[in-house]
Amino acid sequence: MQEYRRLFDLSGRIAVVIGAGSGIGEASALGLAAFGARLYCADIDLERASGTARSIREGGGAAEAVTLDIRDGGQVAAALELSGAPDVLVATPSINVRKPMLEISDGEFERVLELNLKGVFRVIREFGRAMAARGSGSIILFSSIRSQVVEPGQGAYAATKAGTVQLARTLAAELGERGVRVNAIAPGVVETPLTAQIRANPHWYRAYAEKAALKRWAKPAEMVGAVLFLASEAGSYVTGSCLMVDGGWTAVDGRFSPPL
């Protein structure tokens, strides 16, 4: 008989969270650890990653900090060697260049592409191989509502976030028979360092809050439930999906033109 009370139990599992130094990545690492996972907290900022790992250890969990810039294939390989083939991989890093399409330079477009899409590809290729060889694993990528709906100034970012969903779907199709699940989470507006520019503008901030059905922004911790679901046995038959965690944003019509 299924022991439903243990659906979210991650005891004995190893999880790597990339971007664990702040925002959604930090919250995800803390949440996975609270349900028993041993964490590798990876971030380009080792000091911040160390802070997250320290918080987990102080709470009685097990965690280690890892320096990782996903634009560097060597660092990706080193993180995989350190963690082995983890049971769970969560990748959150992203950057944005908010400009009209006709004003984005080649260099700016490439900078967004290099981290948001090519970096994610490097990670899922290397960790996906290890998980497939073992015959199990859950990969969780972070997309965005911008993979589905756009506004002026989001061209490069939106393209990479739509690409992230398709990477997840493709890898899910390729690795399903080998026991590896691959999914994406698409947040709405979340109070993280990436949205600092918006939060600094009261009109822009309020407009985004009003756009969601819940009429407010999300906190990073509100993404943790979705991460736990996809990481655990609770999501054992979920793969190739894009889970919207957007406060109803994509269900509501209307738009706001930001001050570019």
Given the residues 4, 40, 157, 205, select the one marked as catalytic: 157
Rounded-to-10 torsion of CA 23, 72, 171, 177: -110
What share of the chain in percent tops pLDDT 70?
Answer: 98
Q: What are the pLDDT digits (tens) for 211-228?
A: 999 999 999 999 999 999
Q: Residue length, the chain?
A: 260
Average of pLDDT values for 182-187? 98
Secondary-structure class of domain 9-247 per CATH: alpha beta
pTM over 0.85: yes
pLDDT of residue 260 exceeding 80: no
Nearest CA to 39 out of 49, 136, 235, 193 is that of 49
Locate the domains of the chain by residue range: 9-247
Residues facing 138 on adjacent strands: 88, 181
Instruction: Specify the pLDDT at position 46.
Output: 98
Instruction: Specify the pLDDT at position 94.
Output: 95
**Band of residue 256 on the pLDDT scale cut at 50, 70, 90:** low
Which parts of the chain fold into alpha helices (H)?
23-34, 46-58, 73-83, 106-113, 120-134, 155-175, 196-199, 202-211, 224-231
Instruction: Specify the pLDDT at position 1.
Output: 67
What are the angstrom distances between the C-alpha of 158 and each of 19, 110, 121, 152, 164? 19, 14, 16, 10, 10
Query: Catalytic residue at 205?
Result: no
Instruction: Specify the pLDDT at position 75.
Output: 98
Are 125 and 175 a contacting pair, CB within 8 Å? no
Instruction: Specify the pLDDT at position 255.
Output: 63
B/e letters for 131-144, b = 16+ CB within 10 Å, e = fewer, are bbeeeebbbbbbbb
